[in-house]
Chain A
Amino acid sequence: MIEIQDLKKSFGSQMVLKGVNLVIPDGQITVIIGASGSGKSVLLKHLIGLSQPDSGKILVSGTDIAHLDSYHIKNVRMRFGMLFQDGALFDSMNVYENIAFPLREHRRMNEEEIRLLVAEKLKQVNLPGTEKKMPNELSGGMRKRVGLARAIVLNPEIILYDEPTTGLDPVSSQSIDDLIVSTQKHLNGTTVVISHDIRATLRIANKVAMLHDGKIVAEGTPDDFLTNPNPIVRSFLDPAILHAKLPSRKS
């Protein structure tokens, strides 16, 4: 379980997080939604210690990771996997080397074992046989999938996704969403997703939280969300829901 307690963070005079409180339950998919610039990426970076809070706590299974030294933060990070917005693949390495990277760094495996595992992960993200490709030869969706394969190759307990589907066509988005769900089932891990996509959110989430003006303004199951009367939530949900209903009305 990850518990965020009264997390505050400013950049210069701009206060981005103004006291975030949120519980992220184990073994479930939690989706954080919010307008662009509301601080979702900043929040996610705090969860994995890439950013230090001004005040507040981030408890990962009870340990506050906000003020750990570099040795201990490494041990915590070994339990995490993270998919960056555009994959953040190492562009000097091919797909194979990218996915093998965490294995070479943290596991004693021979080349044959690495090869098999990389092939398995690539199959899991529906990109079998792309080992030799360089990142710049991949489409945006493929880069995200390779990034996902790299993020899960050490079987992390907790996976963070920063806008995994933004900028993708509906078909690729759907396949990434399915991957998030199947990966969660496969690893039985704790999953945190940042998303703009309301429909996908409602479909894959076990828990939804909305970040607005530096605070969590609403949280609950997707069903709670659909009936939430908070005007901020409504203004975010309604256009998407209306839009979602259009096709069924036509048929």
Chain B
Amino acid sequence: MKKFVSFLGGNVTGALNEFGGFMLTLIEGVRALFSKPFRLNLIFKEMEFIGVNSTIIIMVTGVFTGAVLALQSGKAFRLFNAEGVTGAVVALSLLRELGPVMTSLMIAARCGSAIAAHIGTMRVTQQIDALEVMAVDPISYLVAPRIVASLGMVPLLSIIFNLLGILGSYAVGVMLLEINEATFFDRIYAYVKSEDLWNGLVKAAVFGVIIAVVGCRKGFMTEGGAEGVGRATTQAVVVSSVTILIADYFLTALMF
């Protein structure tokens, strides 16, 4: 029992430490953003990496997420003759939850890991020391642009995810399950409010920041050569995914 308590205690303090580290990284990153120089081209470069280069995966996952949702819910609603609301149900789940959450989980896997690997490699090969020696703030050079880019791109990607998801549900619902097209869209207009979209986008923005901050922090803290980089990469994905899901709960509780 004693062992268990100390084990638990150790883990809790560990987690709090981690959380403190993430907050510190975020604060430093934001501060670096407002001090000279403003690194616009680095921000664009990261936006290209996080945003443009992820578009295809997000489109594909979006279509199939929407399609499978329509398939499941459409069949269920048909049992009590309510298949007309399929589109609305899918759209609501996408806008409020699945769009932001799935998008950011995909981006955490694709970009959070890459951020940690890149910064971690720079750490273990002394490239970060080299930055400091050349009087360049590594936070301003490496962290701040990624936070901005991720903050901007994850919401955009989640919009794409939502659109493609609704398209997927249309394909399954109207073409496969033969739901009346007019009812399908009518119900969407009736039930979905712009608030649902905005709240979803706020979530996506928060998740975007989580991905960048966790990836950067894990990269910065990397120790111990190639193995350490591998560890940092894995941890970045795991920690940011879990944090996203936890944050999602609290954001939902606050918003809806």
Q: State the A residues within 8 Å of B (CB).
A: 45, 48, 50, 70, 74-75, 77-78, 80-82, 84-86, 88-92, 101-102, 105-106
Contact = CB atoms under 8 A, between A and B. Distances in A.
A86 B225 CA distance: 14
Contact of B133 (A82, A90, A92): A82
Most buried by A among B121, B125, B134: B134
Contacts of A89: 127, 130
Contacts of B37: 105
A48 B135 CA distance: 10
Most buried by B among A45, A74, A81, A88: A88
A85 B126 contact: yes
A88 B126 contact: yes
A17 to B, nearest CB: 18
A78 B132 CA distance: 10
A88 B132 contact: no
B195 interface: no
A70 B122 CA distance: 21
A77 B134 CA distance: 7
A50 B135 contact: no
A90 B126 contact: no
Contacts of B16: none
B222 to A, nearest CB: 15
B27 interface: no
26 contacts: A48-B133, A50-B133, A74-B135, A75-B135, A77-B133, A77-B134, A77-B135, A78-B135, A81-B133, A82-B130, A84-B126, A84-B129, A84-B130, A86-B126, A88-B125, A88-B129, A88-B130, A90-B122, A90-B130, A91-B121, A92-B118, A102-B134, A105-B134, A105-B136, A106-B134, A106-B135
B178 interface: no
Contacts of B134: 77, 101-102, 105-106
A84 B125 CA distance: 10
B186 interface: no
Interface of B: 37, 118, 121-122, 125-127, 129-130, 132-137
A88 B126 CA distance: 6
Nearest to A50: B129
The 4 tightest CB contacts between A and B, nearest first, are: A88-B130, A88-B126, A77-B135, A74-B135
A245 B135 CA distance: 44
Nearest to A75: B135
A91 B125 contact: yes
A70 B130 contact: no
A50 B127 CA distance: 12
Contact of B125 (A78, A81, A86, A105): A86
A74 B136 CA distance: 8
Contacts of A77: 132-135
B137 A70 contact: yes
Nearest to B129: A50
A106 B122 CA distance: 21
Nearest to B139: A70
Contacts of B136: 105
A121 to B, nearest CB: 14
A80 B134 CA distance: 8
A34 B37 CA distance: 41
A86 B137 CA distance: 21
B133 A91 contact: no
Nearest to B131: A90
Contacts of A45: 129
A157 to B, nearest CB: 14
Contact of A80 (B118, B122, B126, B133): B133
Contacts of A106: 134-135
A77 B132 CA distance: 8
Nearest to B121: A91
B137 A90 contact: no
Contacts of A85: 126
A92 B125 CA distance: 13
A84 B131 CA distance: 12
Contacts of B125: 86, 88, 91
Nearest to B128: A88
Most buried by A among B126, B132, B135: B135
Contacts of B132: 50, 77
Contacts of A78: 135
B135 A105 contact: yes
A132 to B, nearest CB: 20
Contacts of B137: 70, 74
Nearest to B141: A105
Contacts of A50: 129, 132-133
A90 B136 CA distance: 13
Contacts of B130: 82, 84, 88-90
